[in-house]
Chains A and B, each alone.
Chain A
């Protein structure tokens, strides 16, 4: 970090105390379960079919192989278009839950100690392990292409405010974490793995360190409590002081989320894919904030009902953490295999005033962009300038809007600039 760029990150009030020490609550699925089907999927079942939990109901058919599993047992009712947590309308497979949760292993467990690297990669692919940090990128791709990796970086930073799901899962399933990381180490070919945890989570660091006693290849790496420390580029820069063009592999690092490692370990040990998620339900718009264990495809409405309802008459339902998560138009959105949180907030009206040109957004942009300049270029429709300012590099972390003292929607303007740039590139 040079003094000419600014801090590129900021400490946020995490509100983690709302949920980090409470028990994980089990949520039961309701009558209907909606399995989200991303674009380019072949549906392998038809209306009226009976499926068990764990059965493959669809498969991605594009560049990546990702099977999609049923999370309950019951009858397929058809396909319905619904709002997804990304805010887009996508198709969901509707399953009528018979309430019996009959489970069938879609694949056989695998002993990671004995299996070869190739076996593990193809197991990961068939198990449908996706990144659990929120983006849902198929993890096996990273390992299939891994070359000259010097460090496997396990991301347990969890920098978004309110979210404590990773913290809870790691705390509950430390053995799985270590088992998963060992398997991933083998697949990546890296000599060492670092588990990045925020400095402020002292108790968790102690626990992990204790569990890692005698383990010379896996170490805990403490990182500052700042946002967006969990973003790959910020994390890698923090630890290795290196920047890269496109993928962390360029600087010899492979990054995976801690929860992904745990899901992988569960699949390896028990043959169970990601059909249940631990999600944080937190925020000031909820009576009883908590971490919940919920089958994929259950709607936010059902979960909130089981948690004791909303607080107040007006609530913002955010799919994910409050910084990057999108506000939903209603609470019918369902938990997906990559969900880790739903944040429920009281809407807080802000008085937007003229830009002070203070440059706080420029100093804090984790991607090193100049949000206020991109905003000006977008308003002027200056495509050339947008390209020069690298609007395409925005990750929509929301920090520019967060820090703005005039309460301007800077991120949204940059998002528009990004879209404008993309549209002009396609022309």
Chain B
């Protein structure tokens, strides 16, 4: 008979193991990755999914390779080291924070920095000061933003557009148009827009976060306080600048705030160990995020705020080193002070924000809603060869071919004015016109320029390449301009059929 002894207690919680916590976190994150890949497949095509998966694979491979080399060099058991160092979590989080057009080179370098300089040099998992994925993301922000994949295009993210707009928009018409680019606040919440791979869908992030919080994988108080304090701070800014509640909502729904709050700020290794400490940590994150966004004009407010607060974690631990049941008052005071400080700092940061002119991207824009009346029909496949539009650019994305044309209209023909600029999108699979957009209408204002109207250009939608009799109704009083646009469509179709 053998009697084993060890120190008490003699039983352990079998349901909570660090390895399982990390495993569940990884699975949750992969759900978000899958959502993003579905989005890119639907909206951009399969090569985007390939690139996204490639980024994830490269990041994971680099992370594993870095850990393996480190373990081999330090003469540690490689398998044991990797099992207890959790490189996968870092690689997945890092991949989710980057844009889809990031190059393989950039993600590899960033992953190496994340794992090696973010974690291993501090002594490995559990000893790192900074969130490793945050370190990797910071490397991309500061040194590798130019390293993008050539064949993958992205448009401006909501947060960079907001940075360009000077962090405030006061004109309500502009606000509406600005939000409409991204499908409105509701779409920002759902996340069906391009952005960092895993950061767009606030809804999905909240669902995964709530589940992981319920499973005690992460502390729900951190994201709640972080997002809540950003809400409070930006609401005050909105009130002082006289803008509506869309403003705090925009701050919360964009720029990876929800992702950072749910999966990076909750990294237990780099946040304080006490509840009070974690709450102050989250308030600090909220204040710094708003401050960095507004004053440094950096879209990456979340990452930099996180790295700065990571440095403060040990101090917060020290601050809350007490017999907690008799320190509730002190800790409540500390939390209250942190909140007041955050309000004061962000108030001054947000006070007197100057709205800049918002430049809307033309490629992604929509036709203007001008009231017009339509008149006589204009045939598309006419045989007129006078003043033919000129193809300036031709780009392909999946089955959509976009032509940018310079279209000589009334102004050009009659008095040597500037030509109109027209975007014609054709679908080469279905052999129909996808859309027509007049990006620059140079003809007589309120007359010839009316060809930019939605009512007019929408007529082109769905016209078949083979329908030789196809026609649209011209805008009353702008027959020359209308014919010119129809000509542009014909030129584009003929070019594609070549």
Contact = CB atoms under 8 A, between A and B. Distances in A.
The A contact surface, by secondary structure, is loop
A406 interface: yes
Contacts of A330: 3
Interface stretch (B144-152, B188-196, B318-326, B433-441): B318-326
Interface residues of B, number: 50
B468 interface: no
B3 A317 contact: yes
B126 A325 contact: no
A345 B268 contact: no
A359 interface: yes
A370 B3 contact: no
Contact of B7 (A4, A310, A409): A409
Given A2-B328, A403-B13, A412 B7 contact: yes
Interface string A394-419: 00101101111111010110010000
Interface string B270-290: 111111101100000000000
Interface in B310-336: 317, 320-326, 328, 331-332, 335
B6 interface: yes
Interface string A346-367: 0110110111111110110001
Contacts of B20: 405
Contacts of A324: 8-9
A325 B10 contact: yes
Contacts of B84: 351, 353-354
A207 interface: no
A345 B8 contact: no
A91 B221 CA distance: 53
Contacts, number: 169
Interface in B367-426: none
B126 A357 contact: yes
A315 interface: yes
Nearest to A389: B321
Contact of A360 (B11, B16, B320): B16
Given A357-B126, A357-B269, A362 B324 contact: yes
B5 interface: yes
A313 interface: yes
Contact of B3 (A315, A323, A358, A412): A315
Contact of B4 (A3, A310, A327, A409): A327
B322 A401 contact: no
B54 to A, nearest CB: 31
Interface in A365-388: 367-370, 372-373, 385, 388
B436 to A, nearest CB: 57
B232 interface: no
A359 B9 contact: no
Contacts of A5: 275, 324-325, 328
A318 B17 CA distance: 24
B18 interface: yes
Contacts of A355: 126
Interface in A75-107: none
B124 interface: yes
A172 to B, nearest CB: 28
Contact of A161 (B11, B21, B127): B11
A370 B274 contact: yes
B75 interface: no
A326 interface: yes
Contact of A369 (B21, B126, B320, B323): B323
Contacts of B79: none
A276 interface: no
A41 interface: no
Contact of B10 (A331, A343, A354): A343
B2 interface: yes
A74 interface: no
Given A329-B3, A370-B273, A402 B323 contact: no
A407 B271 CA distance: 20
B269 A356 contact: yes
B357 interface: no
Contact of B268 (A12, A328, A343, A356): A356
Interface residues of A, number: 66
B12 interface: yes
B70 interface: no
Nearest to B313: A357
Contact of A345 (B11, B13, B322): B11
B1 interface: yes
Given A354-B125, A362-B324, A318 B8 contact: yes
A250 to B, nearest CB: 14
B1 A243 contact: no
A322 B9 contact: yes
A373 B323 contact: no
A396 B9 CA distance: 9
Nearest to B123: A354
Given A359-B278, A370-B324, A373-B273, A322 B11 contact: yes
A26 B81 CA distance: 53
Contact of A405 (B5, B16, B221): B16
Interface string B1-37: 1111111111111001111110000000000000000
Which among B21, B269, B274 has the highest number of chain A CB atoms within 10 Å?
Answer: B274
A238 to B, nearest CB: 14
A354 B7 contact: no
A390 interface: yes
Contacts of A315: 1-4
Nearest to B332: A4
B18 A328 contact: no
Given A4-B324, A370-B321, A370-B324, A328 B9 contact: no
A331 B321 contact: no
A359 B274 contact: yes
A362 B273 contact: yes
A328 B7 CA distance: 10
Chain A CB count within 10 A is highest, among B4, B19, B124, B268, for: B4
A273 B1 CA distance: 35
A362 B8 contact: no
A360 B125 CA distance: 18
B324 A356 contact: no
Given A310-B1, A357-B268, A362-B273, A323 B11 contact: yes
Contacts of B13: 402-405
Contact of A327 (B6, B126, B326): B6
Contacts of A363: 275
A199 to B, nearest CB: 22
B56 to A, nearest CB: 24
Nearest to A343: B10
Contacts of A310: 1
A386 to B, nearest CB: 10
Interface of B: 1-13, 16-21, 84, 124-127, 216, 219, 221, 268-276, 278-279, 317, 320-326, 328, 331-332, 335
Given A327-B4, A407-B12, 20 more contacts: A2-B328, A6-B275, A314-B4, A315-B3, A316-B10, A322-B10, A347-B6, A350-B12, A353-B18, A354-B126, A354-B127, A358-B273, A362-B273, A369-B323, A389-B323, A393-B323, A401-B12, A402-B9, A402-B11, A411-B7
14 contacts: A4-B275, A12-B11, A313-B2, A316-B4, A330-B3, A331-B3, A345-B10, A347-B4, A353-B18, A353-B19, A354-B124, A354-B126, A390-B323, A406-B18
3 closest cross-chain pairs (CB), A and B: A398-B9, A354-B126, A368-B325
Interface of A: 2-6, 12, 161, 243, 310, 313-318, 322-331, 343, 345, 347-348, 350-351, 353-360, 362-363, 367-370, 372-373, 385, 388-390, 393, 396, 398-399, 401-407, 409, 411-412, 415
